[in-house]
Amino acid sequence: MRKKELEFQPQRTAQAGVDYKLTPALNFGVFAKYIGKQHYTDTLNRGSSSETTVAKTTDAFALVDLRGEYKLDTMFTLYGGINNLADAGVEDVIGSNVGRTYFVGARAKF
């Protein structure tokens, strides 16, 4: 008998990253993440007399992110990056298919 798998809980995940200090003020990083297949139950004809459930599995996927920061002085830092650099597709049922995103910001330490 096979054990029941938890829904939306991948059996395998892996993450690795490298942060590199190019200069005392400039930092750069590359990070990769692998998310394995995930099992879930899909309901067909919900609310009708023929409602049924079907066991399904999502595809595994991998994401690569880039980030960098520049320290202006001891108080201020600028940062930015790109999440999901390759714009990898993630199945909609997982609920996190936002595609490639960019971010920038500033940080102040007092």
pLDDT over threshold 50, residue 1: no
pLDDT over threshold 80, residue 95: no
Confidence of residue 3 (pLDDT cuts 50, 70, 90): low
pLDDT over threshold 80, residue 98: no
| 54-79 mean pLDDT | 94
Tell me how many helices (H) and strands (E) the chain has: 0, 7
38, with CB counted inside 10 A (0-12, 13-18, 19+), is buried
pTM for this model (two decimals)? 0.77
Confidence of residue 2 (pLDDT cuts 50, 70, 90): low
pLDDT at 90: 82
